[in-house]
Amino acid sequence: MLPSTFEDYLEAILTITENGRQQAASQEIAAALDTGRAAVEATIASLVEEGYLERAPGDAVRLTGKGKTVASKVARKHRVLQCFLTEVLGIEEDAANREACTLEHGISDETIDRLSSYMDGAQPPPGRLGRCRGWDACTLLDCKEGDTVRVAMLRGPRRNRRLLDLGIFPGEVVQIRRKLPNLSVVVRVKGCDIAISPEIAASIIVESCP
């Protein structure tokens, strides 16, 4: 596994050259990464030696096939993470971009694939939804009183910002306390009971706790 700094360089060069350009100058790389020319030259030398970059005329470099493969993978992780953080968790775009820069280096390909599938509306992996297995989606509205489930995804999160404020977000465990005659659902989360309308409950995708 490459050091995160090396991955940042490859990703930056991919971004600089994404509009049909074949090479990136050291000055452009330094500007993109907000670092000094000396540090850029040292890192580039290491990446050239490892076979991820090759020298181009002047002080420019270009990605090798090996380097482009790594850069494309890191860039995809960044896009998926930033989209997940903004669209599902409701995090402000600039903050999500910074978080994605940090998380992209340690997250596995499998986790990225699953996050991407969730955002594409795909069904979660078989066996993860307990009694709801085989349904298109198991929502909070489908649960029974006494069930304890984990939030897997929020549909239309921008309409459900209040849920995020209440602590109902992907990964949080909730208990179904009561189902009211008007179909509203009372859940316990973080020690508090919260009533959720049936429309909102139907937008909260859940999975059974292991």
Q: Pick the residue with more confidence: 6 or 190?
A: 6
Two structure tokens written together for 110: 């499998």
CA diameter of the chain: 74
Interstrand relation of 185-189 and 148-154 (parallel, antiparallel or unpaired): unpaired
Is 60 exceeded by the pLDDT of residue 123?
A: no
pLDDT tops 80 at residue 88 = no
Work out the pLDDT band at 131, boundaries 50, 70, 90. very low
28 vs 162: which has the higher pLDDT = 28
In angstroms, rounded to a whole number, what is the distance separating the alpha carbons of residues 187 and 148?
9
Q: What confidence tens digit (pLDDT) does each residue in 30-80 have?
A: 999 999 989 999 999 999 999 999 999 888 999 999 999 999 999 999 988
Taking only the tens place, the pLDDT of each residue in 137-193 is 588 888 889 999 988 877 765 555 667 777 787 788 899 999 998 889 999 988 888
For the beta sheet containing 53-55, the strands, ordered from the edge strand earlier in sequence to the opposite edge, are 24-25, 60-63, 53-55
